[in-house]
Structure 1
Amino acid sequence: MSQSNQRAYNFNAGPSALPVEVLEKAQQELVNFHGTGMSIMEMSHRSSTFEEVHNEAISRLRKLFAIPDDYEVLFLQGGASLQFTMIPMNFLQLEKKASYVMTGVWSEKAYKEATLFGEPVQTASTKEDKYRNIPSLEEIDFGSDDAYVHLTSNNTIYGTQWSEFPDTGEVPLIADMSSDIMSKPIDISRFDLIYAGAQKNLGPSGVTVVIARRDFLAKANKEIPTILKYSTHVESNSLYNTPPTFGIYMLGEVLKWIEKQGGLAAIAKQNEEKAKLIYDVIDNSNGFYTGHASKESRSLMNITFRVADEELEKQFLTEAKDAGFVGLNGHRSVGGCRASTYNSVPLETCKALQDFMIAFQNKHK
């Protein structure tokens, strides 16, 4: 590896980079957590020790993300993919429609699951343009009686991100924020339900965060399996069955790290700086590098691009790997290159990629 501490330049799309200090603290506490003589992974999820860890993580999440008091915070399992099913199962009644904004593979998957429970409608889509951009707010046409409007706030595969969210009025707004949750401050009250896998910005894989308005949850279908009801997990404080205890512990530690960085405003500034380093190389390369996403829809979390020709692109990825860069291959469905610059990816890692990209171009132009 090129770095003195032997850490890779990690641009994995998920599971992704975690703060070194969080990993080191977990290492220190792994065998004997707070003098209990056990690892956090070995103790009962019903114990007072774990309950404190669990509740503290919820409290930190509420404070950092400015979650209003009339919202529930849940730690669930099954990833965002299970939420694709749980949402229509709970909220899409047969006589209702739900509007899905199509911006990539994950919104396609969410829409497909909804077809099993009711009548979802693709209210707007940028598929014809290879998902290079986010639809304009004017394109999003939904019914006033829709069960909900669903969108994916950041698209990991195509490198696009919503900069402004639609005002859906009385129609509930639901967002899959798996790949940009807590990357910047947002107004939670604009949404009725937010869900996100933790493995991009919040911790290791295995935990799914759900933030939902209580009065919206009260409208859920009650004639569904117990484990798939949101009310089941609300009533048990996410402890209905054995939760991913280590993942929740790690999520709590990542939240502490975000606090140390100065909170979400500081994190947002860092993310803008990191993405700019790489986008500047693309924009100033005279076509040697070309971005996939249109400039107005660019993601600060996933930077997708191509190299001048296919053979050079293969060489770029090979040389990058040899130089200690990990995870720069684009998603298998679209190819190309992708640098995921989530919260925990250091500025220095993005600067190293910037330098590598410039050097590679200078060598081959």
Structure 2
Amino acid sequence: MSKGWWENNAEIKIFREYLRFNTAHPNIDYTACVEYLKQQAASLDLPVDVLYPANEDNPVVVMKWEGKEPDLPSIILNSHTDVVPVVREKWTHDPFAAEMDDEGRIFARGTQDTKQVGTQYLGAIRALKAKGFQPKRTVYVTFVPDEEVGGHLGMREFVKTDYFKKMNVGFSLDEGSPSLDKTYYAYYAERTAWPLRFKCSGTAGHGSILLPNTAGEKLNYIVNKMMEYRASQVKRLKEEGLFFGDVTTINLTQLEGGVQNNVVPAQLDVVFDLRIAIDVDLEALEKQFRDWCVEAGGGVELVFERKDEFVPASKIGADVPFWAAFEKALNDLNLKVRAQVCPGGTDSRYLRQQGVTSLGFSPLNNNTPILLHDHDEHIKADVYLHGIEVYKSIIPAITDI
């Protein structure tokens, strides 16, 4: 189809308008974005509430599509309004203009992470309502802030509110990712995030002297141990044919310290991004890290820059009604789905902590390059519209079981 056809499509117009709101960190002003979402709710004849569970700068938008049997556990269709920052000179298109090229590719921050699913939900609801469909269970469409920096001012606080408790949520869908093959990924669990800082203290002095017990020696010991652990996970990934979410990932992300090239520093810090597989004993792992601090020669402090708690996986399988309905809806469209552990972190973990069965899913097929957080993030118009068709099948399936 021609670029002109895509540009005139009503759902594509709505999506592109939503993308043009600059909700990139830091210091986001959500005001215009929230007003737009309220307009969308009005166009769908859905009541909408705007809540501020953490503070007045971080709004949660909740649209309600009431079910025929509202006492049944409800469904949440969740997405986040915030996006990660951009390095504008690395983009070939304005990241907040939602420009479309002749191939129908829409370029904007948030096209894959994760504004697309928010308006795809709305597009599917628009089509279903036009056919006279009303769900058995109540459906809430939620747009939350702060996800890209941990969700501490968004979903984490929202699930603690009386408002959320009254929603009586039984199941949720949230963001996923493009797949690496012809299947679609459904994330039923997430790894535990532990960003770790090792603060290595040692003897300071002149750079011309071989001083004992220096911070550099201790840092070297810690780095070697962590890299050995990393290598073991790389080996498992290759030899056992695993997915990224199935292993623990360790990456050195920061090195700090030193004052001058001829001064042995009193302290050097090293930071690792650690995402721990769901089958790892967290208590034993922490003990291992603390043992390494002692073995390094002492004077090494382990600091958790964040220490997420373990969150149990959502149950899946043919005997789990929500999963069975979700999988059947995709199979009816001749789409294959594979359950995976999410390699990153999403707001689903806060819902799982509340006992809500949660799946991370984005209907982006394997023709979509994985560009979450990358330069020139984009999605093709036909892929976006196909996602609406997918949700038109999923929503009735999961609401009417």
Q: TM-score range by the shorter chain?
A: under 0.3
More helix by share: 1
**TM-score, scaled relative to structure 2:** 0.23
**TM-score, scaled relative to structure 1:** 0.25
